[in-house]
Structure 1
């Protein structure tokens, strides 16, 4: 079992090698090593170490994706098995119905899709399409992202694609540090269910909504395709890789940044601000009233 000092050294190495803003890594490294030298991490158990280091990382660099995470399930430490957390995320999505918790038809022919994770565009496409097929005949749609904690950029683009008429909408760009390249995301040309256009779309948000969920909310809002109802979101906009440090500790390193094609920026550190503010527990009722108003009911 590596010592806390070895764990911190290895995590800092990953951050230095991969963090999307390399100019910030020196300050991060110096701050954490100073605390390490002062013995602040010496007697901590694994979960406490993760909590402390994460807090100190974000004091220096307030990036909510920059973290040490404790995981209960043991993970492989073989370098050949380090796929940046992708296999674990795919397994989670399979266990969580590709992130879709429920689909309903509510009074007034208003559809509701409750999304907890943003699935990848390959494995998640059929399930996302099935959900959108079920609400295809509704007069208005509520997309509930209040408990959505993240997901895949490609999946966020697929979700957004349903709400535009064709493949001609430039959604956003992702700059990746490892390649120095910027990847464009556009609406998809082909989808497994009908597009949802010409009707009101309300997106529910909360202080829990994070990362990929924020991507969908921010993108639809910026392009004027949805009204957001609820609370300001957590504010994490940087796509992230996960690397095991021990069998139970991983370091998450943001390796890219999002650039919205409309705003030229993103929601990092600020969160996505709703159009209609409401406590999370009341957001659905507010959205339903708003949908009926938009429909003239």
Structure 2
């Protein structure tokens, strides 16, 4: 996602000649209400209008067939996700279920602790700075910490950005990192929001100072992400390495593409997650939620984004070996590079998020 920005009434089921048990009726109303609200949001706001209509039609067909009847928690999320993915996969589309929603005997979804935004910042070796970002949050303290890291390591000959477990976020931290790395104003990527969403004031990227509105495709409002160099030239010739994996998603892929297509950084690791579309979080009722993609980010030179495919690294190695490869390329002795790599291994998964199992 880019920022955590944030309707329809519940559908009433027609009465049948034989009344269902109250618990069943309540479950059915809740499940169908969640599904219908999701369908309405996708139809109204999804980045590609025709695809949004197809998503909504598939969900409504499932409602009509009774597919979601009596489903709750993980089972309901899995069923809706499967119906949406069958229309067109999207790396951001996944129903968020309420905390503790799993029933007895039903496997609860894997939940990791909240992401620590910045880990292990500092000098990893003489002249070589290292920092791991796990998320780019809407948090002024994290932005200040990112800016301080750059200032504190402005004499580095190389900086290693570890985003192998970076799940997404916004532009704030990027906008205090990039000015240190470029010698002249540079266009990084283009971001295009569905025009109807933008016109209603619903764009999650409207008003960001580093974005410039430009002419774009019909039905979209395009903004280019630019970097303006700061006054300190010390890092402009530093080597920049970006460690990637299948767990590198969304805003982290934005960061990766900006480094790759400008030639300013070298990506080392595995292809990224392929979760391109940016958007905003929405509540579906009953503790359920969803992220609704309203725009896409792409290479301004080619017009291509990374949805589904990810961004290929410049140097392809197993993600767990990416830091080892960079350190040895920078002249660190193999034994010491291996020790440092192990000491800086991420604790979160370095792989693409797996789809929910079919029910």
Q: Structure 2 CA distance, aligned partners of 1:142 and 1:39?
A: 52
Q: Structure 1 CA distance, aligned partners of 2:150 and 2:100?
A: 33
1:69-148 superposed matches below 5 A: 69-72=96-99, 99-120=117-138, 124-148=142-166
The residue that corresponds to 1:225 in the other structure is 264
Please tell me whether the aligned partners of residues 111 and 142 of structure 1 are also in contact (alpha carbons under 8 angstroms).
yes
Q: Structure 1 CA distance, aligned partners of 2:136 and 2:306?
A: 17
- How far the C-alpha of 1:215 sits from its partner, in A, is 0.8
Deviations 1:214-249 (A, max 9, x none): 110111011101111111111011111111112421
TM-score (norm 1): 0.82
Deviations 1:6-41 (A, max 9, x none): 110011111111111001122212222222333322
The residue that corresponds to 1:279 in the other structure is 318
Say whether 1:5 aligns with 2:25: no
Q: Structure 1 CA distance, aligned partners of 2:330 and 2:98?
A: 41
- How far the C-alpha of 1:3 sits from its partner, in A, is 1.3
Higher mean alpha-carbon deviation, 262-271 vs 5-14, is at: 262-271
Q: Per the alignment, in what secondary structure is the counterpart of residue 81 of structure 2?
A: helix
- How far the C-alpha of 1:133 sits from its partner, in A, is 2.1
Higher mean alpha-carbon deviation, 131-140 vs 11-20, is at: 131-140
Deviations 1:247-285 (A, max 9, x none): 421121101111322332221111011111111111110
**Structure with the higher fraction of residues in helix conformation:** 1
Q: Structure 1 CA distance, aligned partners of 2:177 and 2:87?
A: 34
Please tell me whether the aligned partners of residues 175 and 257 of structure 1 are also in contact (alpha carbons under 8 angstroms).
yes
- Determine which structure has more spread, i.e. the larger CA radius of gyration: 2
Q: Structure 2 CA distance, aligned partners of 1:118 and 1:194?
A: 25
Please tell me whether the aligned partners of residues 143 and 172 of structure 2 are also in contact (alpha carbons under 8 angstroms).
no
The residue that corresponds to 1:27 in the other structure is 54
Say whether 1:44 aligns with 2:61: no
1:131-210 superposed matches below 5 A: 131-166=149-184, 168-177=185-194, 178-179=197-198, 180-188=220-228, 190=230, 196-210=235-249
Within the candidate set 243, 250, 258, 2:297 is matched to 258
Please tell me whether the aligned partners of residues 181 and 229 of structure 2 are also in contact (alpha carbons under 8 angstroms).
no
Q: Per the alignment, in what secondary structure is the counterpart of residue 181 of structure 1?
A: strand
Matched positions, count: 270
Higher mean alpha-carbon deviation, 169-178 vs 206-215, is at: 169-178
Q: Structure 2 CA distance, aligned partners of 1:195 and 1:182?
A: 33
Runs of 5+ unmatched residues, structure 2: 1-25, 102-113, 199-219, 333-359
Runs of 5+ unmatched residues, structure 1: 75-94
- How far the C-alpha of 1:195 sits from its partner, in A, is 6.3
Cα RMSD of the aligned pairs, angstroms, is 2.5
Q: Structure 2 CA distance, aligned partners of 1:137 and 1:112?
A: 13
